Structure 1
Protein backbone atom coordinates (compact mmCIF):
# COMPACT_ATOMS: atom_id res chain seq x y z
CA UNK A 1 0.00 0.00 0.00
CA UNK A 2 2.79 2.43 0.90
CA UNK A 3 4.70 1.46 -2.23
CA UNK A 4 1.63 2.09 -4.40
CA UNK A 5 1.07 5.53 -2.83
CA UNK A 6 4.74 6.41 -3.27
CA UNK A 7 4.62 5.42 -6.96
CA UNK A 8 1.55 7.60 -7.48
CA UNK A 9 3.37 10.64 -6.06
CA UNK A 10 6.40 10.02 -8.26
CA UNK A 11 4.20 9.81 -11.37
CA UNK A 12 2.54 13.14 -10.54
CA UNK A 13 5.91 14.75 -9.95
CA UNK A 14 7.18 13.49 -13.33
CA UNK A 15 4.00 14.71 -14.97
CA UNK A 16 4.40 18.15 -13.45
CA UNK A 17 8.05 18.29 -14.49
CA UNK A 18 7.08 17.40 -18.07
CA UNK A 19 4.44 20.14 -18.11
CA UNK A 20 7.01 22.64 -16.82
CA UNK A 21 9.45 21.57 -19.52
CA UNK A 22 6.82 21.92 -22.24
CA UNK A 23 5.81 25.38 -20.94
CA UNK A 24 9.44 26.49 -20.82
CA UNK A 25 9.95 25.29 -24.38
CA UNK A 26 6.82 27.09 -25.55
CA UNK A 27 7.95 30.27 -23.81
CA UNK A 28 11.36 29.97 -25.42
CA UNK A 29 9.82 29.43 -28.85
CA UNK A 30 7.54 32.39 -28.29
CA UNK A 31 10.50 34.60 -27.49
CA UNK A 32 12.32 33.41 -30.60
CA UNK A 33 9.21 34.03 -32.73
CA UNK A 34 8.69 37.45 -31.18
CA UNK A 35 12.30 38.36 -31.81
CA UNK A 36 12.09 37.17 -35.41
CA UNK A 37 8.82 39.03 -35.88
CA UNK A 38 10.26 42.25 -34.49
CA UNK A 39 13.39 41.82 -36.60
CA UNK A 40 11.25 41.31 -39.70
CA UNK A 41 9.22 44.40 -38.86
CA UNK A 42 12.40 46.44 -38.44
CA UNK A 43 13.69 45.20 -41.80
CA UNK A 44 10.39 46.03 -43.51
CA UNK A 45 10.32 49.45 -41.90
CA UNK A 46 13.88 50.14 -43.03
CA UNK A 47 13.10 48.88 -46.54
CA UNK A 48 9.98 51.00 -46.69
CA UNK A 49 11.88 54.09 -45.55
CA UNK A 50 14.61 53.44 -48.10
CA UNK A 51 12.07 52.98 -50.89
CA UNK A 52 10.33 56.20 -49.91
CA UNK A 53 13.64 58.03 -49.83
CA UNK A 54 14.60 56.66 -53.24
CA UNK A 55 11.15 57.49 -54.61
CA UNK A 56 11.41 61.04 -53.20
CA UNK A 57 14.87 61.44 -54.71
CA UNK A 58 13.61 60.21 -58.08
CA UNK A 59 10.66 62.60 -57.90
CA UNK A 60 12.94 65.52 -57.09
CA UNK A 61 15.29 64.54 -59.91
CA UNK A 62 12.38 64.35 -62.36
CA UNK A 63 11.06 67.73 -61.22
CA UNK A 64 14.50 69.31 -61.51
CA UNK A 65 14.91 67.87 -65.01
CA UNK A 66 11.48 69.16 -66.04
CA UNK A 67 12.25 72.57 -64.56
CA UNK A 68 15.59 72.77 -66.39
CA UNK A 69 13.93 71.71 -69.64
CA UNK A 70 11.18 74.32 -69.22
CA UNK A 71 13.69 77.07 -68.41
CA UNK A 72 15.76 76.07 -71.43
CA UNK A 73 12.70 76.22 -73.69
CA UNK A 74 11.71 79.62 -72.32
CA UNK A 75 15.25 80.96 -72.80
CA UNK A 76 15.31 79.68 -76.38
CA UNK A 77 11.89 81.19 -77.10
CA UNK A 78 13.00 84.55 -75.65
CA UNK A 79 16.17 84.44 -77.73
CA UNK A 80 14.29 83.67 -80.93
CA UNK A 81 11.45 86.15 -80.46
CA UNK A 82 13.00 88.77 -78.21
CA UNK A 83 9.89 88.54 -76.01
CA UNK A 84 10.01 87.66 -72.33
CA UNK A 85 7.55 87.77 -69.45
CA UNK A 86 8.24 89.05 -65.95
CA UNK A 87 4.82 88.57 -64.35
CA UNK A 88 1.70 86.55 -65.04
CA UNK A 89 -1.55 86.20 -63.08
CA UNK A 90 -4.48 84.01 -64.12
CA UNK A 91 -8.00 84.16 -62.73
CA UNK A 92 -10.68 81.65 -63.69
CA UNK A 93 -14.18 83.01 -64.20
CA UNK A 94 -17.40 81.46 -65.50
CA UNK A 95 -19.03 78.08 -65.00
CA UNK A 96 -20.59 75.29 -67.02
CA UNK A 97 -19.59 74.75 -70.63
CA UNK A 98 -18.20 78.26 -71.00
CA UNK A 99 -15.20 78.90 -68.78
CA UNK A 100 -12.94 81.92 -69.13
CA UNK A 101 -9.51 82.78 -67.79
CA UNK A 102 -8.48 86.38 -67.17
CA UNK A 103 -4.77 86.89 -67.93
CA UNK A 104 -2.62 89.79 -66.78
CA UNK A 105 0.89 89.81 -68.22
CA UNK A 106 3.91 92.07 -67.86
CA UNK A 107 6.86 91.61 -70.16
CA UNK A 108 9.38 93.05 -72.55
CA UNK A 109 10.41 92.84 -76.16
CA UNK A 110 14.09 93.69 -76.39
CA UNK A 111 14.18 97.09 -74.60
CA UNK A 112 10.44 97.90 -74.81
CA UNK A 113 8.22 97.18 -71.80
CA UNK A 114 4.55 96.26 -72.15
CA UNK A 115 1.54 95.11 -70.14
CA UNK A 116 -1.56 93.40 -71.44
CA UNK A 117 -4.81 91.96 -70.20
CA UNK A 118 -7.01 89.56 -72.07
CA UNK A 119 -9.81 87.11 -71.40
CA UNK A 120 -9.55 83.65 -72.90
CA UNK A 121 -12.94 81.96 -73.15
CA UNK A 122 -13.05 78.18 -73.53
CA UNK A 123 -16.12 76.75 -75.27
CA UNK A 124 -16.68 73.00 -74.97
CA UNK A 125 -17.98 71.38 -78.18
CA UNK A 126 -18.60 67.75 -79.03
CA UNK A 127 -15.30 67.48 -80.86
CA UNK A 128 -12.94 69.66 -78.80
CA UNK A 129 -12.42 72.77 -76.69
CA UNK A 130 -12.23 76.09 -78.55
CA UNK A 131 -10.36 79.03 -76.94
CA UNK A 132 -11.31 82.56 -78.02
CA UNK A 133 -9.83 85.91 -76.96
CA UNK A 134 -12.88 87.97 -75.99
CA UNK A 135 -11.18 91.03 -74.46
CA UNK A 136 -7.79 92.60 -75.09
CA UNK A 137 -6.13 95.65 -73.55
CA UNK A 138 -2.50 96.53 -74.37
CA UNK A 139 -0.38 99.11 -72.57
CA UNK A 140 3.01 100.11 -74.00
CA UNK A 141 5.48 101.85 -71.73
CA UNK A 142 6.35 104.52 -74.29
CA UNK A 143 3.75 106.56 -76.18
CA UNK A 144 6.20 108.19 -78.60
CA UNK A 145 5.68 105.62 -81.36
CA UNK A 146 2.71 106.93 -83.34
CA UNK A 147 2.60 104.16 -85.94
CA UNK A 148 2.96 101.44 -83.34
CA UNK A 149 0.29 103.01 -81.12
CA UNK A 150 -2.18 103.09 -84.02
CA UNK A 151 -1.40 99.46 -84.82
CA UNK A 152 -1.93 98.45 -81.17
CA UNK A 153 -5.38 100.04 -81.25
CA UNK A 154 -6.24 97.96 -84.31
CA UNK A 155 -4.85 94.81 -82.70
CA UNK A 156 -7.06 95.42 -79.65
CA UNK A 157 -10.10 95.76 -81.89
CA UNK A 158 -9.27 92.55 -83.76
CA UNK A 159 -8.25 90.79 -80.52
CA UNK A 160 -5.27 89.32 -82.37
CA UNK A 161 -2.58 88.41 -79.85
CA UNK A 162 -0.33 86.60 -82.33
CA UNK A 163 -0.24 89.60 -84.67
CA UNK A 164 0.57 91.92 -81.75
CA UNK A 165 3.51 89.83 -80.52
CA UNK A 166 4.91 89.33 -84.02
CA UNK A 167 4.76 93.04 -84.86
CA UNK A 168 6.04 94.16 -81.47
CA UNK A 169 9.02 91.82 -81.74
CA UNK A 170 9.96 93.13 -85.20
CA UNK A 171 9.49 96.77 -84.17
CA UNK A 172 11.48 96.39 -80.93
CA UNK A 173 14.31 94.67 -82.80
CA UNK A 174 14.66 97.58 -85.24
CA UNK A 175 14.26 100.11 -82.42
CA UNK A 176 17.10 98.55 -80.44
CA UNK A 177 19.27 98.23 -83.57
CA UNK A 178 18.78 101.96 -84.30
CA UNK A 179 19.80 102.90 -80.75
CA UNK A 180 22.92 100.72 -80.88
CA UNK A 181 23.90 102.12 -84.30
CA UNK A 182 23.47 105.76 -83.24
CA UNK A 183 25.53 105.20 -80.08
CA UNK A 184 28.20 103.41 -82.10
CA UNK A 185 28.73 106.35 -84.47
CA UNK A 186 28.57 108.89 -81.64
CA UNK A 187 31.39 107.05 -79.86
CA UNK A 188 33.37 106.51 -83.07
CA UNK A 189 33.05 110.08 -84.42
CA UNK A 190 32.30 112.29 -81.38
CA UNK A 191 33.40 115.49 -83.19
CA UNK A 192 31.11 114.90 -86.17
CA UNK A 193 28.03 113.10 -84.79
CA UNK A 194 25.48 114.78 -82.53
CA UNK A 195 22.46 113.22 -80.84
CA UNK A 196 20.44 116.23 -79.60
CA UNK A 197 17.60 114.04 -78.29
CA UNK A 198 19.64 110.98 -77.41
CA UNK A 199 20.05 107.63 -79.13
CA UNK A 200 16.34 106.81 -78.82
CA UNK A 201 15.38 109.67 -81.15
CA UNK A 202 14.63 109.19 -84.84
CA UNK A 203 17.61 111.15 -86.16
CA UNK A 204 21.26 112.03 -85.78
CA UNK A 205 23.11 115.12 -87.05
CA UNK A 206 26.45 115.25 -88.85
CA UNK A 207 28.56 118.43 -88.62
CA UNK A 208 31.96 119.32 -89.97
CA UNK A 209 34.22 121.98 -88.49
CA UNK A 210 35.69 122.64 -91.97
CA UNK A 211 32.23 123.47 -93.31
CA UNK A 212 30.65 125.86 -90.77
CA UNK A 213 26.86 125.91 -90.88
CA UNK A 214 26.57 122.74 -92.96
CA UNK A 215 24.53 119.96 -91.36
CA UNK A 216 23.37 116.58 -92.56
CA UNK A 217 20.44 115.13 -90.66
CA UNK A 218 19.81 111.40 -91.02
CA UNK A 219 16.23 110.40 -90.24
CA UNK A 220 15.60 106.77 -89.37
CA UNK A 221 11.90 106.03 -89.02
CA UNK A 222 10.34 102.68 -88.19
CA UNK A 223 6.98 102.43 -89.93
CA UNK A 224 4.20 99.99 -89.04
CA UNK A 225 1.45 99.25 -91.57
CA UNK A 226 -2.16 98.40 -90.77
CA UNK A 227 -1.34 94.73 -91.33
CA UNK A 228 1.51 94.92 -88.80
CA UNK A 229 4.38 94.96 -91.32
CA UNK A 230 7.42 96.76 -89.89
CA UNK A 231 9.63 98.72 -92.32
CA UNK A 232 12.71 100.84 -91.53
CA UNK A 233 12.94 104.00 -93.65
CA UNK A 234 16.08 106.16 -93.75
CA UNK A 235 16.35 109.56 -95.38
CA UNK A 236 18.79 112.45 -95.49
CA UNK A 237 18.08 116.15 -95.13
CA UNK A 238 20.72 118.81 -95.77
CA UNK A 239 21.15 122.21 -94.18
CA UNK A 240 23.49 124.45 -96.17
CA UNK A 241 23.89 128.23 -95.70
CA UNK A 242 22.82 130.34 -98.68
CA UNK A 243 26.30 131.70 -99.24
CA UNK A 244 27.69 128.17 -99.45
CA UNK A 245 25.12 127.19 -102.09
CA UNK A 246 26.68 129.71 -104.46
CA UNK A 247 29.78 127.54 -104.54
CA UNK A 248 27.83 124.31 -105.03
CA UNK A 249 28.17 124.23 -108.82
CA UNK A 250 27.62 120.46 -109.00
CA UNK A 251 24.39 120.54 -106.94
CA UNK A 252 25.85 118.21 -104.33
CA UNK A 253 23.39 119.40 -101.68
CA UNK A 254 20.38 118.69 -103.87
CA UNK A 255 21.58 115.25 -104.93
CA UNK A 256 22.73 114.21 -101.45
CA UNK A 257 19.43 112.52 -100.41
CA UNK A 258 19.21 110.34 -103.52
CA UNK A 259 22.93 109.53 -103.29
CA UNK A 260 22.44 108.44 -99.68
CA UNK A 261 19.57 106.15 -100.69
CA UNK A 262 21.83 104.58 -103.31
CA UNK A 263 24.47 103.99 -100.66
CA UNK A 264 21.86 102.29 -98.50
CA UNK A 265 20.86 99.93 -101.29
CA UNK A 266 24.47 99.11 -102.14
CA UNK A 267 26.13 98.82 -98.74
CA UNK A 268 23.45 98.68 -96.03
CA UNK A 269 22.70 101.03 -93.19
CA UNK A 270 25.91 101.08 -91.15
CA UNK A 271 28.26 101.17 -94.14
CA UNK A 272 26.22 103.94 -95.80
CA UNK A 273 26.29 106.14 -92.69
CA UNK A 274 29.99 105.48 -92.17
CA UNK A 275 30.72 106.41 -95.79
CA UNK A 276 28.73 109.64 -95.43
CA UNK A 277 30.60 110.61 -92.26
CA UNK A 278 33.96 110.03 -93.94
CA UNK A 279 32.88 112.27 -96.84
CA UNK A 280 32.21 115.02 -94.30
Structure 2
Protein backbone atom coordinates (compact mmCIF):
# COMPACT_ATOMS: atom_id res chain seq x y z
CA UNK A 1 0.00 0.00 0.00
CA UNK A 2 2.83 2.40 0.86
CA UNK A 3 4.44 1.68 -2.49
CA UNK A 4 1.19 2.40 -4.30
CA UNK A 5 0.79 5.76 -2.56
CA UNK A 6 4.36 6.69 -3.39
CA UNK A 7 3.90 5.85 -7.05
CA UNK A 8 0.70 7.88 -7.26
CA UNK A 9 2.47 10.87 -5.68
CA UNK A 10 5.31 10.60 -8.16
CA UNK A 11 2.74 10.62 -10.93
CA UNK A 12 1.05 13.65 -9.40
CA UNK A 13 -2.28 11.88 -8.96
CA UNK A 14 -2.76 11.80 -5.18
CA UNK A 15 -5.04 14.30 -3.44
CA UNK A 16 -2.16 16.19 -1.89
CA UNK A 17 -0.44 16.59 -5.26
CA UNK A 18 -3.67 17.82 -6.80
CA UNK A 19 -4.05 20.41 -4.04
CA UNK A 20 -0.46 21.56 -4.59
CA UNK A 21 -1.10 21.85 -8.33
CA UNK A 22 -4.28 23.86 -7.76
CA UNK A 23 -2.48 26.15 -5.31
CA UNK A 24 0.31 26.72 -7.82
CA UNK A 25 -2.25 27.53 -10.53
CA UNK A 26 -4.06 29.88 -8.16
CA UNK A 27 -0.82 31.75 -7.47
CA UNK A 28 -0.26 32.19 -11.20
CA UNK A 29 -3.79 33.49 -11.76
CA UNK A 30 -3.55 35.73 -8.69
CA UNK A 31 -0.77 37.89 -10.04
CA UNK A 32 -0.97 40.91 -12.28
CA UNK A 33 1.19 43.55 -13.85
CA UNK A 34 1.15 47.22 -14.76
CA UNK A 35 2.01 48.84 -18.08
CA UNK A 36 2.70 52.18 -19.73
CA UNK A 37 2.75 52.71 -23.50
CA UNK A 38 3.71 55.75 -25.56
CA UNK A 39 2.73 56.38 -29.18
CA UNK A 40 4.08 59.15 -31.39
CA UNK A 41 1.84 59.80 -34.38
CA UNK A 42 2.04 62.79 -36.75
CA UNK A 43 4.25 64.67 -34.33
CA UNK A 44 1.92 64.16 -31.38
CA UNK A 45 2.51 62.11 -28.25
CA UNK A 46 -0.09 59.79 -26.72
CA UNK A 47 0.42 57.88 -23.45
CA UNK A 48 -1.71 55.12 -21.90
CA UNK A 49 -1.11 53.40 -18.59
CA UNK A 50 -2.60 50.84 -16.23
CA UNK A 51 -1.40 50.71 -12.63
CA UNK A 52 1.60 52.63 -11.33
CA UNK A 53 3.94 52.48 -14.32
CA UNK A 54 4.77 56.10 -15.03
CA UNK A 55 5.51 58.39 -18.00
CA UNK A 56 7.39 61.69 -17.64
CA UNK A 57 7.78 64.25 -20.43
CA UNK A 58 10.74 66.54 -19.84
CA UNK A 59 10.79 69.92 -21.60
CA UNK A 60 12.55 73.27 -21.29
CA UNK A 61 10.64 76.49 -20.76
CA UNK A 62 11.46 79.80 -22.57
CA UNK A 63 14.15 80.46 -19.95
CA UNK A 64 15.83 77.13 -20.60
CA UNK A 65 14.67 75.61 -17.29
CA UNK A 66 13.82 71.90 -17.35
CA UNK A 67 10.18 71.13 -16.51
CA UNK A 68 8.73 67.70 -15.82
CA UNK A 69 5.14 66.67 -16.57
CA UNK A 70 3.70 63.32 -15.49
CA UNK A 71 1.53 62.06 -18.35
CA UNK A 72 0.28 58.95 -16.56
CA UNK A 73 -1.99 58.37 -13.57
CA UNK A 74 -0.94 56.27 -10.58
CA UNK A 75 -3.85 53.88 -10.10
CA UNK A 76 -3.66 53.28 -6.36
CA UNK A 77 -5.47 54.19 -3.16
CA UNK A 78 -3.89 57.66 -3.10
CA UNK A 79 -5.68 58.56 -6.34
CA UNK A 80 -8.88 60.45 -5.44
CA UNK A 81 -10.52 59.65 -8.78
CA UNK A 82 -9.93 55.95 -8.21
CA UNK A 83 -11.29 56.18 -4.67
CA UNK A 84 -14.45 57.85 -6.03
CA UNK A 85 -14.84 55.07 -8.61
CA UNK A 86 -14.52 52.41 -5.90
CA UNK A 87 -16.96 54.25 -3.64
CA UNK A 88 -19.53 54.29 -6.45
CA UNK A 89 -19.22 50.50 -6.58
CA UNK A 90 -20.24 50.30 -2.93
CA UNK A 91 -16.86 49.81 -1.28
CA UNK A 92 -15.94 51.40 2.06
CA UNK A 93 -13.11 53.79 1.24
CA UNK A 94 -11.87 54.33 4.81
CA UNK A 95 -11.47 50.56 5.22
CA UNK A 96 -9.48 50.33 1.99
CA UNK A 97 -7.28 53.26 3.00
CA UNK A 98 -6.50 51.70 6.37
CA UNK A 99 -5.62 48.38 4.78
CA UNK A 100 -3.74 50.00 1.92
CA UNK A 101 -4.47 47.08 -0.41
CA UNK A 102 -7.09 45.58 -2.70
CA UNK A 103 -6.81 41.89 -1.96
CA UNK A 104 -3.22 40.91 -2.72
CA UNK A 105 -2.14 44.15 -4.42
CA UNK A 106 -1.95 47.92 -4.01
CA UNK A 107 -3.02 49.03 -7.50
CA UNK A 108 -6.64 49.74 -8.38
CA UNK A 109 -6.00 48.84 -12.03
CA UNK A 110 -3.80 46.12 -13.49
CA UNK A 111 -3.44 43.56 -16.26
CA UNK A 112 -4.30 40.08 -15.06
CA UNK A 113 -4.83 38.95 -11.43
CA UNK A 114 -8.08 36.96 -11.48
CA UNK A 115 -8.30 37.05 -7.67
CA UNK A 116 -9.29 40.74 -7.53
CA UNK A 117 -11.29 40.61 -10.75
CA UNK A 118 -13.46 37.59 -11.47
CA UNK A 119 -12.82 36.26 -7.96
CA UNK A 120 -13.33 39.52 -6.05
CA UNK A 121 -16.36 38.12 -4.17
CA UNK A 122 -13.91 35.88 -2.31
CA UNK A 123 -11.94 38.88 -1.00
CA UNK A 124 -13.35 40.33 2.21
CA UNK A 125 -12.82 44.03 1.56
CA UNK A 126 -13.97 43.73 -2.08
CA UNK A 127 -17.02 41.44 -1.94
CA UNK A 128 -19.43 44.37 -1.40
CA UNK A 129 -18.61 45.80 -4.84
CA UNK A 130 -21.44 45.75 -7.37
CA UNK A 131 -18.96 44.91 -10.18
CA UNK A 132 -15.28 44.17 -10.57
CA UNK A 133 -13.43 46.84 -8.55
CA UNK A 134 -10.00 46.29 -10.11
CA UNK A 135 -10.07 46.94 -13.84
CA UNK A 136 -7.66 46.81 -16.77
CA UNK A 137 -8.99 49.89 -18.59
CA UNK A 138 -6.08 52.23 -19.38
CA UNK A 139 -6.06 55.94 -18.69
CA UNK A 140 -5.08 57.82 -21.85
CA UNK A 141 -3.43 61.22 -22.15
CA UNK A 142 -2.57 62.50 -25.54
CA UNK A 143 -2.43 64.77 -28.47
CA UNK A 144 0.63 66.57 -27.06
CA UNK A 145 2.40 68.42 -29.85
CA UNK A 146 6.10 67.60 -29.86
CA UNK A 147 8.21 70.69 -30.54
CA UNK A 148 11.74 71.91 -29.93
CA UNK A 149 11.03 72.35 -26.22
CA UNK A 150 10.53 68.59 -25.76
CA UNK A 151 13.82 67.08 -24.60
CA UNK A 152 13.17 63.46 -23.64
CA UNK A 153 10.51 61.02 -22.47
CA UNK A 154 10.89 58.59 -19.56
CA UNK A 155 8.78 55.44 -19.20
CA UNK A 156 9.34 53.53 -15.98
CA UNK A 157 8.01 50.71 -13.86
CA UNK A 158 6.59 51.45 -10.43
CA UNK A 159 9.67 49.84 -8.91
CA UNK A 160 11.82 52.80 -10.00
CA UNK A 161 9.89 55.65 -8.42
CA UNK A 162 8.82 53.55 -5.41
CA UNK A 163 12.40 52.55 -4.64
CA UNK A 164 13.49 56.18 -4.85
CA UNK A 165 10.60 57.23 -2.62
CA UNK A 166 11.51 54.61 -0.01
CA UNK A 167 15.12 55.78 -0.12
CA UNK A 168 14.36 59.52 0.12
CA UNK A 169 10.84 59.90 1.53
CA UNK A 170 10.08 62.62 -1.02
CA UNK A 171 6.59 63.29 -2.49
CA UNK A 172 5.71 62.43 -6.09
CA UNK A 173 6.46 65.83 -7.68
CA UNK A 174 9.94 65.94 -6.19
CA UNK A 175 10.58 62.30 -7.12
CA UNK A 176 9.73 63.03 -10.76
CA UNK A 177 12.08 66.01 -10.83
CA UNK A 178 14.87 64.02 -9.19
CA UNK A 179 14.56 61.19 -11.73
CA UNK A 180 14.60 63.74 -14.57
CA UNK A 181 17.67 65.49 -13.16
CA UNK A 182 19.43 62.14 -12.69
CA UNK A 183 18.79 61.51 -16.39
CA UNK A 184 20.15 64.94 -17.35
CA UNK A 185 23.32 64.25 -15.37
CA UNK A 186 23.82 60.97 -17.18
CA UNK A 187 23.14 62.56 -20.59
CA UNK A 188 26.18 64.72 -19.88
CA UNK A 189 28.37 61.86 -18.65
CA UNK A 190 27.45 58.85 -20.78
CA UNK A 191 28.39 58.28 -24.40
CA UNK A 192 25.31 56.17 -25.20
CA UNK A 193 21.66 56.13 -24.27
CA UNK A 194 22.22 52.64 -22.93
CA UNK A 195 24.67 54.16 -20.47
CA UNK A 196 22.22 56.92 -19.54
CA UNK A 197 19.35 54.68 -18.52
CA UNK A 198 21.48 51.98 -16.93
CA UNK A 199 23.27 54.59 -14.81
CA UNK A 200 19.94 55.96 -13.55
CA UNK A 201 18.67 52.45 -12.75
CA UNK A 202 21.91 51.58 -10.97
CA UNK A 203 21.87 54.81 -8.94
CA UNK A 204 18.30 54.29 -7.72
CA UNK A 205 19.03 50.64 -6.89
CA UNK A 206 22.15 51.68 -4.99
CA UNK A 207 20.30 54.36 -3.03
CA UNK A 208 17.61 51.85 -2.07
CA UNK A 209 20.26 49.31 -1.07
CA UNK A 210 22.12 51.83 1.08
CA UNK A 211 18.90 52.85 2.82
CA UNK A 212 18.07 49.20 3.49
CA UNK A 213 21.52 48.47 4.89
CA UNK A 214 21.27 51.50 7.17
CA UNK A 215 18.14 50.00 8.74
CA UNK A 216 15.86 52.89 7.81
CA UNK A 217 13.57 50.59 5.81
CA UNK A 218 13.11 48.16 8.70
CA UNK A 219 12.20 44.73 7.33
CA UNK A 220 10.85 46.14 4.04
CA UNK A 221 14.03 45.52 2.09
CA UNK A 222 12.52 44.06 -1.05
CA UNK A 223 11.88 46.13 -4.11
CA UNK A 224 10.00 45.46 -7.31
CA UNK A 225 11.34 45.30 -10.84
CA UNK A 226 13.16 48.51 -11.78
CA UNK A 227 12.83 49.32 -15.48
CA UNK A 228 13.48 52.58 -17.31
CA UNK A 229 13.00 53.40 -20.98
CA UNK A 230 14.40 56.66 -22.33
CA UNK A 231 13.20 58.22 -25.58
CA UNK A 232 15.45 61.11 -26.58
CA UNK A 233 14.02 63.91 -28.71
CA UNK A 234 16.75 66.55 -28.90
CA UNK A 235 18.71 66.50 -25.66
CA UNK A 236 22.47 66.62 -26.35
CA UNK A 237 24.59 63.73 -25.13
CA UNK A 238 28.30 62.96 -25.14
CA UNK A 239 27.98 61.07 -28.44
CA UNK A 240 25.19 61.31 -30.99
CA UNK A 241 26.14 58.05 -32.72
CA UNK A 242 23.79 55.87 -30.71
CA UNK A 243 20.23 54.62 -30.44
CA UNK A 244 17.13 56.76 -30.20
CA UNK A 245 15.72 54.76 -27.30
CA UNK A 246 16.51 51.77 -25.14
CA UNK A 247 15.47 50.01 -21.97
CA UNK A 248 17.49 49.40 -18.82
CA UNK A 249 16.21 46.95 -16.24
CA UNK A 250 17.13 45.90 -12.74
CA UNK A 251 15.18 42.72 -11.87
CA UNK A 252 16.63 42.01 -8.44
CA UNK A 253 14.08 41.17 -5.73
CA UNK A 254 16.00 42.62 -2.79
CA UNK A 255 18.09 45.70 -2.20
CA UNK A 256 21.15 43.53 -1.56
CA UNK A 257 21.20 42.20 -5.12
CA UNK A 258 22.42 44.65 -7.77
CA UNK A 259 22.14 42.42 -10.84
CA UNK A 260 20.75 44.12 -13.93
CA UNK A 261 19.91 43.51 -17.56
CA UNK A 262 19.97 45.82 -20.56
CA UNK A 263 17.79 45.32 -23.62
CA UNK A 264 18.85 47.60 -26.46
CA UNK A 265 16.67 48.44 -29.43
CA UNK A 266 18.76 48.56 -32.57
CA UNK A 267 16.40 50.62 -34.70
CA UNK A 268 14.07 53.54 -34.14
CA UNK A 269 11.25 51.39 -35.53
CA UNK A 270 10.56 47.91 -34.18
CA UNK A 271 9.20 45.29 -36.57
CA UNK A 272 5.68 44.14 -35.65
CA UNK A 273 5.48 40.76 -33.96
CA UNK A 274 1.72 40.28 -34.48
CA UNK A 275 0.44 39.35 -37.95
CA UNK A 276 -2.77 41.26 -38.71
CA UNK A 277 -2.97 40.16 -42.35
CA UNK A 278 -5.91 37.81 -41.68
CA UNK A 279 -7.78 40.65 -39.98
CA UNK A 280 -7.29 42.99 -42.94
CA UNK A 281 -8.34 40.25 -45.38
CA UNK A 282 -11.53 39.73 -43.36
CA UNK A 283 -12.24 43.46 -43.35
CA UNK A 284 -11.81 43.64 -47.13
CA UNK A 285 -14.01 40.57 -47.66
CA UNK A 286 -16.80 42.01 -45.50
CA UNK A 287 -16.46 45.33 -47.32
CA UNK A 288 -17.03 43.59 -50.66
CA UNK A 289 -19.96 41.62 -49.23
CA UNK A 290 -21.50 44.75 -47.73
CA UNK A 291 -21.45 43.28 -44.21
CA UNK A 292 -18.74 45.50 -42.71
CA UNK A 293 -19.98 47.06 -39.44
CA UNK A 294 -20.08 50.86 -39.34
CA UNK A 295 -17.05 52.62 -37.95
CA UNK A 296 -14.49 50.17 -39.34
CA UNK A 297 -12.67 51.75 -42.25
CA UNK A 298 -9.04 52.12 -43.30
Q: Shorter-chain TM-score category?
A: under 0.3
Structure with the bigger RCO (C-alpha within 8 Å, sep 6+) is 2
Larger radius of gyration: 1
TM-score by length of 2: 0.19
TM-score where L is the length of structure 1: 0.20
Greater helix share, 1 or 2? Answer: 1
Specify which structure has the higher proportion of strand: 1
